Structure 1
């Protein structure tokens, strides 16, 4: 009887240390430490013949992607996907990853002779009985799910947005004078992707991507005398054949003579989506010119 009990216990030990295959649903394609008898992934089958384990819910900022942040325990245990002090959770390393600041000098052995990439700290102390805390080198933070909002801002930076070039009649160049009461024409000169849109860019990190698309939804012209004009189009470019007619979509009239600074503020609405999230980023850009408005006076001689 004792011999059979010892044999049964030995079989249990063997089964416990046998490597387990990562679930096909596991978003990071497996995890280090499988030789410890650790299961990784979403919906990992239960142990000891107790049936399927409950699927792990997603905890990444409301993302709909099939990604769960889990420890390499038996069974896996969910943890928060980010920590304000430790960084972002990596399933692949089963720890929080954060760039070491300041990084050790390039002469430190942790660089392994590399001069590019970064040094990261892997921290799991107090989270589970993992590897504790250590430094490692990588081209980019491995297994870390990037913040989609950060990637969205990177995509906006790639757009190289800038203020509109002001088109105006009368011509705001030195020596040109407009007249009180006559129509002023306002338009966006040479609109392009960077001044008007639409403009689409994608930013990626660690195999994840966020795409942002933006365009100008309105240009508000501040005329320098307290008046403003809001235009949702680029306006109409003035031609001599129009004479003294009013602009059909973006115009103004001064009531007093003077020198005025005309400011055009373009309002961008940028929609982004990726990594299961979406949002809107608003941007404004401003340009200005100076225009002189005179008054035509008539002298009648009797």
Structure 2
């Protein structure tokens, strides 16, 4: 059976939020047979606006932060500015875990929600892990335990680069259309891993 053609009507649209003194542009409402709740407006020339493309463009312009990498224990808190070989290292990030925004483009109101997914950590020594949760380390823990969900222990002294790549999903909603866009954000931080040696000092 051939599907029925789209129905074109001319609805009345209220003024857009934040633009009370500007009348709405002329719209035609294109209702697809498979999505009767969707209303596709036209631009000033009368050409139907590609709502999904407009929403995707808005979603990609949403500012998503890079991972704010934290290392525990903090190597900056010791005079050598390093992590000893064999010491359990904890990794976590402190950026927001979700973001919400609303924008209006070409008269279309677009709602966006960005949700953080797993973070992949590379430690520079050939080790890569994917962390679905990341527990912050308390400043002082005795004896030092390994991280319960996102950590590593270096076995060789060297200067390493820790890289974190976080996957985000941006969900958008506009005029009855919805969609999702996966994106990634990456950040790196240097880390010096050294060896501590005990020295016996003869008393007087």
TM-score (norm 2): 0.71
Alpha carbons of structure 1 residues 185 and 66: separation in structure 2 relative to 1, 3 Å: closer
Equivalent pairs counted in the alignment come to 177
Kindly indicate whether the alpha-carbon contact (under 8 Å) linking 2:38 and 2:175 is maintained by their aligned counterparts in 1. no
Higher relative contact order (CA 8 A, sep 6+): 2
CA RMSD of aligned residues (A): 3.2
Kindly indicate whether the alpha-carbon contact (under 8 Å) linking 1:219 and 1:264 is maintained by their aligned counterparts in 2. yes
2:37: which partner in 1?
65
Task: In structure 2, list runs of 5 or more residues that go unmatched.
Answer: 1-7, 13-27
Alpha carbons of structure 1 residues 67 and 245: separation in structure 2 relative to 1, 3 Å: closer
Displacement after TM superposition at 1:255 (Å): 1.5
TM-score (norm 1): 0.50
Task: In structure 1, list runs of 5 or more residues that go unmatched.
Answer: 1-24, 30-40, 43-55, 69-88, 91-96, 98-119, 123-141
Q: 1:289 aligns to what SS in structure 2?
A: strand
Alpha carbons of structure 1 residues 57 and 216: separation in structure 2 relative to 1, 3 Å: closer
Of the three residues 109, 113, 118, the one matched with 1:218 is 118
Q: Where do residues 74-113 of structure 1 align in structure 2 (5 Å cutoff)?
A: 90=42
Distance in 1 of aligned mates of 2:159 and 2:199: 24
The question of 1:145 aligning with 2:49 is answered yes
The question of 1:154 aligning with 2:58 is answered yes
Q: 1:151 aligns to what SS in structure 2?
A: helix
Deviations 1:261-298 (A, max 9, x none): 00111110112222232221111111111111112346
The question of 1:249 aligning with 2:149 is answered yes
Larger radius of gyration: 1
Kindly indicate whether the alpha-carbon contact (under 8 Å) linking 2:170 and 2:180 is maintained by their aligned counterparts in 1. yes
Of Structure 1 and Structure 2, the greater strand share is in 2
